[in-house]
Structure formats: C-alpha cells, structure tokens
Amino acid sequence: MRILDRYILISIIKMFLAAILLFAFLYILIDAATHLDDFIANKVPTDIVIGYYASFFPVIFVQTSPVACLLAVLFTYSGLNNNNEIIALRASGLNYRKITQPAIIFGLIVTAMVFLVNERFAPQAAMLAQEIKKGKIEVNEKTRSEKPASIKYLFFYGTNNKLFFIDEFDPGTKTLTGVTVIGQDQKQRMNEKVTAFKGQWTGSEWKLFNCQIATYDPEDPTTTHDVQFFKEKTFSFNESPDDLMKQRLNVSAMNIKQTKAYIKRFKASGAIVALNNLKVDLHQKIAYPFACIVIIFVGLPFALVTGKRKGLTFASVGIALSIGFLFYVVNAVGLALGKGGALPPFAAAWLAPVLFTATGIYLVRKLF
C-alpha cells in the first residue's frame, strides 16, 4: 500500500470510529434519560443496565455505519481539500480513481463487516435487549396490566404435522384473523388445507367462522378431492392461545439462510401478502449493507470539488447528514412500495442503492 493511501485510510478509520462512538453515546444518553424513572423505581442493578446498553451496540453499528462512513470520508477529504492537498495530488498526476481508492476500499470493508454483524450478532442482540427491557427495566404494575399487542403474521409448525399461518392474533380477545392450516402426511406432502376468515378460542377449542376445508391427494397436491364450506366449525387444534404466544416470530432475529428456509417452508400456505413481505425483508438483509459503499460513492464528489473550500470541512457534516437522510427515506419508500405490492421484492430492496449509485456516477462524470 502506498504511503498516501495508508495516510488517508488511517484518517478515515479514526473518524469512523469516533463517529460510531458518538452515535452510540447519543443513543445511550437519550435512552437513559427516557428510562431513568424505570431504573430508579425498579432499582435496576448497574450490571443489568450495562448489559442492556452493551446489547445495543451491534444494532447501533449496523444502523449508523453508512452515515459514519460518509462522515469519516467527507471529513478526511475535505481536510485535504482545505489544505490544497487535493490540488497537489492532481498536479502529481493522480486521477479521481486513485485519489478515492482508499475510501472505496474502506467502504467495501465496512460493508462486509455490517453484513457479518447483521447476520450473526445484531438479531440476537436486539432480542436480548428486548428481554432485559421487558423483564428487568419496565417491570411494574402498569406494564403487567397492559393489554398485550396483537401479533401479525404468525406462522409455525404445530402438532400432528400441521402448518399454521395466521394473519393476526389478538391475545387480549383470543381472536384469530385470516387463518390457514396446512395438513401434511409423514412425507411432508399436503393432504388438507383449512382456511377461515376468523377464529375464536372458546376455552377448550377453536371455533372458525366462514371456514373452507379442502382435501388433496398427497401424490398430486394440485388436485382437489373435496371442498366443504362451513359458516361455523369447531376444531380441536392442540395449540392454545398460550402456545401461540410462544410461537411468535421475529423475522429480524433470523439471518438470510433462515429467512430463505422460512419462505420455502410456508410457500404452500398461499398467504401471498405475508410471503411477499418476507421476501422484501430477505432482499433488504442482502441490500442494506451496501449502503456504506453506495453513499460514500455519492458523497465523495462533494468533498473533492476544488472551487470554494472555505468552511468545507464543516459543510461536509451537513452534506453527509443530508445524503444519509435521503438514502434512508428512499430506502423506506422502496420497502413500503414492495410490501404494498407496487414493486417486486428485489426491486424494492435495491431501489435506494441503485438510484444512489446512478447519482454517484452522474456526479463523477459531471464534476471530474
């Protein structure tokens, strides 16, 4: 590695680590101020508080790395620009690609790190933080008496080799909405499909309303043998409301491989909306880490313009925050369009990276 590349890379790494620590400090400060009353009222031990905030670090790293990367790169190159070093580098024969090479390499490394942390550490860390928060920090009479929130898109393998998919489960009223139950034989072949608009727990069994039961030949699951319709039908599923609460799915706690397996497992449920949402989440897990390199690519041209340089170092903060904000907005819009069915899952997840990459190419061609 050239001395110049090493000099720039070290500066970027220092700024990046400082930005990550700053974001972590601000997050902890705001969250601590919010939960200070809970800490005092419940006499939460110091080690629990430290463990709670330590569990947040992988999530903070994943969420803030793109903006931290951009801040580090813009500060470094803006500093070089303010000191006329960019002009000197160009005068020595270095082109845009060679000058920005350390930043691009750094962006690729952080992208790989975000991908790794997001796959192996962030999901478990987020679940641990939630467990500590609910079990140790917010334990009081008010939270005990609060009505449990409804659970959307609950699906799991039940007893007797049955596959359950439920659009929404309300633990308070013990009501199901959008029920699909797939019966399978010992070879995991579909032989029955039960669908219902609504289900209600009677105390010992489930009563389904507007119910349809279809039976299939396991050798040819595309052929329907018999279809029956019931306005009301009682089923003795072994799964009680308490069992459903234990089966609650947190998609964010799954890695890419687990999400793919989950989609494949529940493909036969026919739950188009939920499966589409899972596919969007799957592609987002793959696309999001590339935000680090993409917004660096967009931000670099602003730091290397050698016109007016006065105050550019501080202006780079505003540029970084603006680019980061726009990226998150476009990404959120893309995901919303994907989950709403307006865009295919792949296009929804990659909308922001592709648009910002195209913007970066345009800026480089126009300014250099």
165 and 121 fall within a common domain: no
Alpha carbons 66 and 105: distance in angstroms, whole number:
14
* Residue 143's pLDDT band (cuts 50, 70, 90): very low
Do 298 and 363 form a contact (C-beta atoms < 8 A)? Answer: yes
CB atoms within 10 A of CB 179: 24
Residue of 336, 334, 181 whose CA lies nearest to 271: 181
Please check the confidence at residue 119 and state whether its pLDDT lies above 80: yes
Instruction: Report which of residues 202 and 261 the model is more confident about.
Output: 202
Calculate what percentage of the chain has a pLDDT beyond 70. 88
The mean pLDDT value for 77-91 works out to 83
In the block, tokens 């036969």 appear at 268
The mean pLDDT value for 48-77 works out to 89
Strand order in the sheet with 206-217: 151-157, 162-170, 175-184, 190-201, 206-217, 220-235
Q: Which two tokens stand for residue 332?
A: 């959120």
Asked if the structure places residue 14 within a domain, the reply is yes
pLDDT, position 50: 87
pLDDT, position 249: 55
61 and 128 fall within a common domain: yes
The mean pLDDT value for 42-50 works out to 84
Q: Which of 30-44, 307-321, 335-349 is predicted with the least confidence, judged by mean pLDDT? A: 307-321
Grouping H, G, I as helix, E, B as strand and the rest as coil, residue 170 is strand
Number of domains in the chain: 2
Q: Which of 36-45, 292-301, 341-350 is predicted with the least confidence, judged by mean pLDDT? A: 36-45
23 and 124 fall within a common domain: yes
Phi, psi for residue 211 in degrees, rounded to 5 = -100, 140
- Answer whether 0.75 is exceeded by the pTM: no
78 and 9 fall within a common domain: yes
E-strand spans in 172-268? 175-184, 190-201, 206-217, 220-235
Instruction: Report which of residues 225 and 138 the model is more confident about.
Output: 225
pLDDT, position 11: 92
34 and 82 fall within a common domain: yes
Asked if the structure places residue 250 within a domain, the reply is no
pLDDT, position 182: 85
Alpha carbons 356 and 335: distance in angstroms, whole number:
16
351 and 229 fall within a common domain: no
Q: Which residues of 291-322 are buried (b: 16+ CB within 10 A; e: fewer)?
A: bbbbbbbbbbbbbbeeeebeebbebbeebbee
The mean pLDDT value for 98-109 works out to 92
Residue of 75, 93, 70 whose CA lies nearest to 327: 70
Angle between helices 122-132 and 57-82 (to 10 degrees): 120
Cα 338 versus chain centre, distance: 14
Asked if the structure places residue 264 within a domain, the reply is no
Runs of H (alpha helix) within the chain: 3-41, 46-54, 57-82, 85-91, 96-120, 122-132, 141-145, 241-246, 256-265, 272-287, 291-304, 312-339, 345-367
Domain final position from 212, 238, 264 = 238
195 and 129 fall within a common domain: no
Return mean pLDDT, the chain.
83
47 and 95 fall within a common domain: yes
pLDDT, position 305: 72
Which residues constitute the domain of residue 167? 159-238
